[in-house]
């Protein structure tokens, strides 16, 4: 059964590396003290400037966060989105097919069970799922993972939002939604036209969050060359391998160029990305978000006790690490989960930054990064230090 789990850990064709699972109560108790002592919560203050945090991901449940949404002059939530074909679709969440929407309650239970399996917890739901998977055909198992894969993509942005605004009642969420391809073989099948539309949509979403006053932007996605290659391997098997690789490289380079250009035009906004879960040096990774800019921060992950993990990507672009294992976060229907991955470490840092800005709105991006590093805890492996939210907020002027 353990061989099955990595299929989910590399969800959405490895373009977003994540895991949205739930943890048993006994694990919550075991790791709570370490993180509670390093965190801080702010109380609501009507006089405080609202901090706008953009969740640039798969969408945010606006019902769950109805009182935390950034709104325009007409009182409408600030949302922009694109569908899997890279066409404008300004919906807060993707539209799930009826076959999946009818299974949401069961899908949530499966996610809880898979987390227990992944963590080595012998729970009733883990045993039940193990037993069921051992009785089904390979085709049905593949269909199961395909459904889970799509549902994890659907829930991902909501989990990030919950992490990013934890303990910060004066934050406002901007929803910048993107959607991945679906199915096996995947739809849509990748093309140069889609590559250009992907790059254009990414630049549009970047400009959108900046224009709407975001000070912090969570980007827990990578857009890897291997993800595009795998798409083409499945849906265009007759395409020459060299042609698949060239198209994947073209896509990643186009996206990276748009990201760099857009970020350079918004030096007052801090963009926070996830380092990735490949366990490799970023020099060997093939993600579009591998670059360094003064206002772009790549975050690595540590485990539930603050220890280094082998699966978090490393390299000079990664300057800080944060909790990436069993991070409390809700699913779209409010179910509490505890996701794992560098995808979750990024909004943990964004949460600290937003709290710093709530305490001192005038902080520059460079001042924020300096305070984050000055208050972070050195790690025994001599890699990037570990975020200390409480000390960072205090250094910014908070309590």
Tell how many helices (H) and how many strands (E) occur in the chain: 12, 9
The pLDDT-based confidence of 326 (bands split at 50, 70, 90) is confident
User: Which of 32-46, 312-326, 330-344 shows the highest mean pLDDT?
Assistant: 312-326
Query: Which neighbouring-strand residues pair with 171?
Result: 51
Q: Looking at residue 123, what is its pLDDT?
A: 80
Lowest model confidence (mean pLDDT) among 92-96, 119-123, 182-186: 119-123
Q: Looking at residue 12, what is its pLDDT?
A: 37
How many Cβ atoms sit within 10 Å of the Cβ of residue 373?
A: 14
The better pLDDT of the pair 15, 183 is held by 183
Query: Tens of pLDDT along 359-381?
Result: 999 999 999 999 999 999 999 99
Query: Tens of pLDDT along 45-82?
Result: 888 889 999 999 999 999 999 999 999 999 999 999 99
Q: Looking at residue 118, what is its pLDDT?
A: 66
Q: Looking at residue 398, what is its pLDDT?
A: 67
The pLDDT-based confidence of 83 (bands split at 50, 70, 90) is very high
Distance in angstroms between the alpha carbons of the first and the last residue of the chain: 47
Any idea of the CA torsion for 243, 246, 247, 249, to the nearest 10 degrees? 160
Q: Is residue 212 scored above 80 in pLDDT? A: yes
3-state secondary structure of 163: helix
Query: Tens of pLDDT along 92-115?
Result: 999 999 999 999 999 998 988 877
Q: Looking at residue 396, what is its pLDDT?
A: 96
Interval 272-296 mean pLDDT: 95
Q: Looking at residue 5, what is its pLDDT?
A: 37
d(CA 303, CA 253): 32
Q: Is residue 187 scored above 70 in pLDDT? A: yes
User: Which of 109-118, 125-134, 166-175, 323-332 shows the highest mean pLDDT?
Assistant: 166-175
Burial of 105 (0-12, 13-18, 19+ CB in 10 A): exposed
The model's pTM is: 0.91
The pLDDT-based confidence of 30 (bands split at 50, 70, 90) is very low
3-state secondary structure of 336: strand
Interval 280-293 mean pLDDT: 93
Please name the residues in contact with 357: beta carbons below 8 A apart, sequence gap of 6 or more: 51, 215, 216, 363, 368, 396
The better pLDDT of the pair 159, 12 is held by 159
CATH class of 2-396: alpha beta
Percentage of residues of the chain with pLDDT beyond 70: 90
Q: Looking at residue 16, what is its pLDDT?
A: 39
How many Cβ atoms sit within 10 Å of the Cβ of residue 282?
A: 22
Burial of 98 (0-12, 13-18, 19+ CB in 10 A): exposed
Q: Looking at residue 22, what is its pLDDT?
A: 33
């Amino acid at each position: 059964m353990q061989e099955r789990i990595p299929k989910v850990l590399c969800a959405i064709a490895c373009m977003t590396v994540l895991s949205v699972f739930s943890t048993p109560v006994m694990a919550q108790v075991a790791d709570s003290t370490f993180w509670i002592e390093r965190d801080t919560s702010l109380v609501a203050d009507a006089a405080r400037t609202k901090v706008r945090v953009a969740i640039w991901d798969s969408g945010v449940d606006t019902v769950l966060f109805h009182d935390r949404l950034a709104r325009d002059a007409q009182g409408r939530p600030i949302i922009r989105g694109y569908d899997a074909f890279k066409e404008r679709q300004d919906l807060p969440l993707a539209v799930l097919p009826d076959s999946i929407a009818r299974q949401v309650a069961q899908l949530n239970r499966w996610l809880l069970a898979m987390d227990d399996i992944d963590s080595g917890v012998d729970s009733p739901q883990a045993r039940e799922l193990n037993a069921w998977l051992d009785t089904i055909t390979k085709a049905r198992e593949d269909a199961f993972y395909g459904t889970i894969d799509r549902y994890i993509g659907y829930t991902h942005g909501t989990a990030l939002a919950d992490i990013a605004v934890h303990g910060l009642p004066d934050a406002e969420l901007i929803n910048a939604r993107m959607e991945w391809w679906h199915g096996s073989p995947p739809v849509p099948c990748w093309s140069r036209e889609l590559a250009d539309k992907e790059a254009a949509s990414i630049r549009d979403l970047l400009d959108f969050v900046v224009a709407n006053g975001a000070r912090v932007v969570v980007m827990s996605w990578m857009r890897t060359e291997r993800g595009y290659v795998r798409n083409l391997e499945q849906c265009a098997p007759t395409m020459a391998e060299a042609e698949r690789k060239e198209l994947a490289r073209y896509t990643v380079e186009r996206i990276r160029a748009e990201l760099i250009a857009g970020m350079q035009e918004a030096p007052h906004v801090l963009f926070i990305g996830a380092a990735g879960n490949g366990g490799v040096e970023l020099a060997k990774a093939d993600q579009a978000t591998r670059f360094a800019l003064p206002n772009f921060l790549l975050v690595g992950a540590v485990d539930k006790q603050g220890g280094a993990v082998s699966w978090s990507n490393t390299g000079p672009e990664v300057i800080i690490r944060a909790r990436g294992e069993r991070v409390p976060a809700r699913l779209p229907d409010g179910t509490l989960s505890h996701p794992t991955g560098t995808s979750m470490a990024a909004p943990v840092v964004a949460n600290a930054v937003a709290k710093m800005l709530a305490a001192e709105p005038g902080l520059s991006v460079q001042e924020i990064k300096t305070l984050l590093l000055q208050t972070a805890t050195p790690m025994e492996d001599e890699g990037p230090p570990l975020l200390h939210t409480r000390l960072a907020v205090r250094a910014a002027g908070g309590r």
